[in-house]
Chain A
Amino acid sequence: GQQLNQSPQSMFIQEGEDVSMNCTSSSIFNTWLWYKQDPGEGPVLLIALYKAGELTSNGRLTAQFGITRKDSFLNISASIPSDVGIYFCAGQLTLVDNQGGKLIFGQGTELSVKP
């Protein structure tokens, strides 16, 4: 089936550092979503992107919808301990792929922040 390549798989950083993670695909997506999941909880939406080239911020988080519609990145600035968790990208396929509406998830990036 369709897959998203999310990298890196894990990151160990110092508090205050900036973080960058990205997702790439061979398919064109019409929506990119970024979720964060804390242990024992469900994923929580961080940022939703709807147009190619769109750059959106949510506090210290910034995400972009790649111009080719096949990639997206998420940046976190000045990380803090509560940023710890697993970050998932998710893409929604376009109609022509016959699976429109279905979300495809990346494998996740596990972030650890050392105080």
Chain B
Amino acid sequence: DTEVTQTPKHLVMGMTNKKSLKCEQHMGHRAMYWYKQKAKKPPELMFVYSYEKLSINESVPSRFSPECPNSSLLNLHLHALQPEDSALYLCASSLRDRPSGANVLTFGAGSRLTVL
């Protein structure tokens, strides 16, 4: 299995809703990532989990809450979002997250989020 699976593919939510995005990989990767991407722009890093511990939070607002229940799963909990949070949310994984090692990321297909 060489895939990163993201669900749901599309999500529409109101500003008062609570929802979650889910990501799963079975490649034995120990680093998992959340990225946010606006149309025709590069992905922007939000969070990195390394060995199931949060290692990087790129000053993301607290209305985004990541969770890594185990080495294969990564969630992003969403609450009280704003319309400007509408974007494609990409999950990725890599074999390791160490400064001296190459980090080749495998991306999922993304979850398209629309906040009304």
Please report A residues at the B interface, Cβ cutoff 8 Å.
30-31, 33, 35, 40-45, 48, 50, 86, 88, 90, 92, 95, 100-103, 105-108, 110
Contact = CB atoms under 8 A, between A and B. Distances in A.
* Closest CB pairs A-B (n = 5): A100-B99, A105-B42, A42-B107, A31-B102, A95-B99
A50 B104 CA distance: 10
Interface stretch (B11-19, B69-77, B79-87, B108-116): B108-116
Interface string B38-64: 001111010000000000100000000
Nearest to A44: B107
B42 A33 contact: no
A41 B45 CA distance: 17
A86 B88 CA distance: 15
A48 B102 CA distance: 9
Given A86-B40, A107-B42, A110-B40, A50 B102 contact: yes
Q: Is the interface of B mostly helix, strand, loop or mixed?
A: loop
Nearest to B90: A42
Interface of B: 4, 6, 40-43, 45, 56, 90, 92, 97-110, 112
A40 B107 CA distance: 13
A107 B38 CA distance: 12
B42 A106 contact: yes
A88 B45 CA distance: 15
Contacts of B105: 33, 45, 90, 103
Nearest to A86: B40
